[in-house]
Structures are given as structure tokens and as C-alpha cells.
Amino acid sequence: MVQRTDKQKGVLRSLDWWTIIIYIALLTFGWVSVCGASYTYGDADIFSLDTRSGMQIVWIGTSIVLGFVLLMLDDRYYDMFAFIIFGVMLLLLFATIFNPHSIKGSRSWLVLGPLRLQPAEFAKFATALALAKLMSTYGYNIQNWRHFAATLAVILVPMLFIVLQRETGSALVYLAFFLMFYREGMPGSVLFTGLAMVIYFVVGIRYADTMLWQTPTSVGKFVVLLLIQLFSAAMVWIYCKENRNAIRLFSICLGVTVVGLLFSIYVIPFDVTYIELVVCVLLIGYLLWLALATRIRNYAWIALFALGSMVFFNLADYMLNEVMEPHQRVRINVLLGLEEDLKGAGYNVHQSEIAIGSGGLEGKGFLNGTQTKLKFVPEQDTDFIFCTVGEEEGFVGSAGVLLLFLALILRLIHLSERQNHRFGRVYGYCVLSIFLFHVFINVGMVLGLTPVIGIPLPFFSYGGSSLWGFTLLLFIFLRIDAGRNLIRT
């Protein structure tokens, strides 16, 4: 039985209408952008179902109906059936691996007559529900390694299935859940380790062939090894509270590096990275000795961080040249400035930048974009739709769209923090993390700031699967939020 408090007098009255208004605004601007991206000179009717703009109206209409249905369901169903929904989606993802239909090299689409669905888009809300259910169980502690391992399995299994569908971009979206982990108590060192790995990869690859002054020393290797030492010393300061040991490590690492570098420059030129490697090995040994001598476990974890950093750094080049697919390797090289390839991997981004730049301050106006009308930008109504916003609406319109997304993100933070139960808070931060990842990566790849991994811009990119998937994510959370003050007996 459900009792209502004075604050909670019904689902429709308790809904967060500000979020729904933002949702409707994004849908509206998204449809305008699809019109601009798909319109061809001479089209008679942008509302015709033979056009993408006409079909997008269908997807928008069905999404609104779907959202209304989700709001009418009892919010307890999402908690009760979370694992069942997740299990069904895993079976669907697994079955899709053997899908005989290949679209643009990917087997992630199920073709049902004229309808095409991408299960990976729907697996996001199912995974979010499963995580919320698992993490809200009695006694769960994210800092317990068994609990954390089970949580990671919930994320990694769908990721694996999606990768096997040759849809790496959609699989990477699941890394966004680590932002939710941080809110729920995951140590900041885990996020820092991930950030450090990105820095090692970018710096190590980008400057691998650049020599340091007049020495035969790779700038990339030199900087990465030095960063490993400095990061480790900083972690001793923060996590072990041993200021003297931290200062001693800083001084020794920097001192040995400076002496070796000066000797290489003015006496005998040699590769300074050999000295850096020896210093790193001695650093790891010293940290392990401190862990045994003081019985402070954090020293051992920092030693493991340094060792893992060295292993990752030495495997980075192998990963790029041997593990990654050729098109992925070229995209990363283009992003890092190692290759230009304006006619190949860099073509999409280059044309997108031209389209956005040509929009100027106020844009060329609705349906007046030349770059998009002449189809210079591939995938301009799906993955690269933001370039249409930049060309037709200019800087003002682009900033307005980003402000709308910012308003949505801030509203989701507010709603998540006001949840009375952990299930709602965890699910809310899952939704927030996915939206944030999609917006950041999609806009970044259109501007040439992030790798091109082929993920849609929420509520803007053409297609039913992504629009329904984002609607499911958002409206399930709105329904959970609407029931937060109900007293159940």
C-alpha cells in the first residue's frame, strides 16, 4: 500500500517539470538540426515520411509516448525487475553478435523488416538499473574488492558483447559509469590512475620521435618516466601522510634526472631514459621496503601504481600498432597530430571544422548551410550533427545548445542528490554520467578535440534507437524521482 505525504500528491504533480521542459527543448532543436542536415535543395516537404526530417518526427512522437508510459508505471517495478531486464538485454546483445546483417562494418543492428534497432543503445539503461540494484543491496561497500569486482562485471560483460559486435564506440560509453563510482565512494586514486594512463599514452606516443635538446633521448619516454616518479611521490604525500618521505623522493628523482641530463648534454651524449628506468625500479623497491617496514599498505599500492604505469607505458606503442585496428590507429595519429590525412581519416573532422567555422557568430540561417546542403560532411545528421548547429545557428546557437545540455546535467545532479534511497541516487548518477560522456565526446570529436568513435549526440542525432534509449534513461529516473517521498506500507 502507498501513502502520500503532503509533499507528494500524485505522479504528474510531483514530476520535475524543469527537466521535461529541457527535454522538449532539446528534442525541438534536435529536429531542426536534423532538418538542416538532411535537407536537399528541391525537397518539397520536410514533413514527408520519405525524408529523414519526417521520420524523425515519428521517432520524437513515439519517444514522448514511451516517456508517458514510463511515468505511469509504478517506480518499484524498476527496482524489482532490474536484474531481469539486465539479463534479457545481455541475451539480446549476445544474440546480436551472430547477426548476419552488417551495416558499415558493424553487427550491432537488428533488422526487423523496415525497422532497425541497436540493442547497445537500450543496454545502457538496463546496465544502469542493474548497477543501482546491486549497489543498493544491504551491506554493499564499493571499497570491498569483492563487491567492486561484481560491480565491474556488470559493466564489462555488456562492453565485451558490444565490442564483439564491432561497435567499439558504444562500448566505451560504459566507462562513464566510473564517474558514478567516484560519487559512491570509489577512491579518487582510481580515477587519477585512469587519467595518468591517458597522459602516458598521449605524451608517450605524441613525442616518441622527438629528441630532447642535443641528446639521443626521446622526449615522450623521458617525460612519462619522470611523471611516474613525480606522481608516485605526490601519492606518498597524499595517501601516506609522510611529508618527509615524499620530499625525499621528489628531491632524489629530480636531482638524479637533472644530473643525468646535464651530463648527457655537456659531457657524453647518451639516452637519459636508461637512468630514468633505473630510478623507477629503485623507487618501486624503496616503496615496497617502506610498506614492509612501516606496515602501511598504501606504500605497496603506490609501488603497484608505479609498476603498472611502467608496464602500461611500455605496452602503449604495441597497443597502438598491433592491437588496434588500422582505422582506429589512423584516427588516433590524426588526433595527436602525427598524421594529417585530410582525404582519409581526418576528412570528417576537417569538413566539420570548416562547416562550424563558416557559421560565424549568428550562422547562415535555417536550411541555408552550404557545407551541409552539399553533403561535404559525412554522417552529418547522426554522429556529426553538431556541425549543422554551428553552420546554421553559428556561435550563438551552438552556445545555446551547450547551455541546454549544461542545464540538463546540473538538473540531474540536483535530482540525484535529493533521492531518499541509494537506488535512485545511483541510477541518477548513471544517467548523468552517460549524458555527460556522450555530449563531451560527440562535441569534442566534431571540433577535433577527441577521437572519432561514432557515438550520437543525445536528442539531436537522427535515429529511433538512440532517441528511445536516451528517453528510457531519463524518464525512468524522472519516475523514480517522482516517487521518492512516497511512504510504502
Main-chain dihedrals φ then ψ at residue 363, nearest 5 degrees = 85, 175
Q: Residue 168 pLDDT more than 60?
A: yes
Give the model confidence (pLDDT) of 103-155 as tens digits: 666 677 777 766 778 888 999 999 999 999 999 999 999 888 899 999 999 99
Calculate mean pLDDT across residues 339-351: 68
User: Residue 350: in which H helix or E strand, if any?
Assistant: helix 347-358
Count Cβ atoms below 10 Å from residue 327 Cβ, excluding itself: 11
Main-chain dihedrals φ then ψ at residue 112, nearest 5 degrees = -120, 85
Q: What is the pTM of this model?
A: 0.85
The residue length of the chain stands at: 489
DSSP 333-388: HHHTTS---TTTTTHHHHHHHHHHHHTTTT-S-TT--HHHHTT-STTTTTTTTHHH
d(CA 331, CA 212): 26
Q: Residue 188 in contact with residue 127, Cβ under 8 Å?
A: no
d(CA 398, CA 457): 13
Q: Residue 489 pLDDT more than 50?
A: no
Give the model confidence (pLDDT) of 185-204 as tens digits: 888 888 889 889 989 988 88
147 burial level (CB within 10 Å; 0-12, 13-18, 19+): middle
Q: In the prediction, which pLDDT does 104 show?
A: 64
Give the model confidence (pLDDT) of 400-443 as tens digits: 999 999 999 999 999 999 999 999 999 999 999 999 999 999 99
User: Residue 298: in which H helix or E strand, if any?
Assistant: helix 297-318
d(CA 152, CA 144): 12
d(CA 8, CA 482): 8
Main-chain dihedrals φ then ψ at residue 259, nearest 5 degrees = -60, -45
Lowest model confidence (mean pLDDT) among 273-287, 300-314, 362-376, 468-482: 362-376
Q: In the prediction, which pLDDT does 344 show?
A: 58
Q: In the prediction, which pLDDT does 339 show?
A: 67
Q: Residue 113 corresponds to which cell in the numbers above?
A: 523488416
Q: In the prediction, which pLDDT does 191 show?
A: 83
Which distant-in-sequence residues (6+ apart) come within 8 Å of 351 by Cβ?
371, 376, 377, 378, 387
Q: Residue 6 pLDDT more than 60?
A: no
Q: In the prediction, which pLDDT does 411 show?
A: 96
Considering only residues 298 and 326, tell me which one the structure prediction assigns the higher pLDDT.
298
Q: In the prediction, which pLDDT does 1 show?
A: 45
Whole-angstrom CA distances from 481 to 19, 85, 302, 410 are: 11, 20, 40, 15
User: Residue 440: in which H helix or E strand, if any?
Assistant: helix 422-446
Whole-angstrom CA distances from 135 to 79, 122, 129 are: 12, 21, 10
Calculate mean pLDDT across residues 217-233: 93
* Dihedral Cα 340, 342, 348, 349, nearest 10 deg: 40
d(CA 330, CA 320): 10
Q: Residue 384 in contact with residue 377, Cβ under 8 Å?
A: yes
Q: How confident is the model at residue 372 (pLDDT cuts 50, 70, 90)?
A: confident
Calculate mean pLDDT across residues 67-80: 92
Buried/exposed 28-49: b ≥16 CB within 10 Å, e otherwise: ebbbbbbbbbbbeeeeeebeee
d(CA 89, CA 219): 47
Q: In the prediction, which pLDDT does 94 show?
A: 92
d(CA 247, CA 231): 12
d(CA 378, CA 254): 49
d(CA 388, CA 398): 9
Q: Residue 387 pLDDT more than 70?
A: yes
How much of the chain, in percent, has pLDDT values that exceed 90? 52
How much of the chain, in percent, has pLDDT values that exceed 70? 91
Q: How confident is the model at residue 292 (pLDDT cuts 50, 70, 90)?
A: very high
* DSSP type of residue 461: S
Count Cβ atoms below 10 Å from residue 459 Cβ, excluding itself: 29
Main-chain dihedrals φ then ψ at residue 6, nearest 5 degrees = -65, -25
Q: How far from chain centre, in Å, is Cα 176?
A: 5
Q: Which amino acid is at 208?
A: A
Q: In the prediction, which pLDDT does 7 show?
A: 45
d(CA 54, CA 44): 12
d(CA 393, CA 384): 15
Whole-angstrom CA distances from 16 to 182, 289, 405 are: 25, 56, 16
d(CA 241, CA 179): 26
Calculate mean pLDDT across residues 24-28: 96
Q: How confident is the model at residue 458 (pLDDT cuts 50, 70, 90)?
A: very high
Q: Residue 355 in contact with residue 371, Cβ under 8 Å?
A: yes
Considering the chain, what is the average pLDDT of its residues?
87
Calculate mean pLDDT across residues 340-352: 69
Q: How confident is the model at residue 36 (pLDDT cuts 50, 70, 90)?
A: confident
Q: Residue 129 in contact with residue 476, Cβ under 8 Å?
A: yes
d(CA 194, CA 206): 18
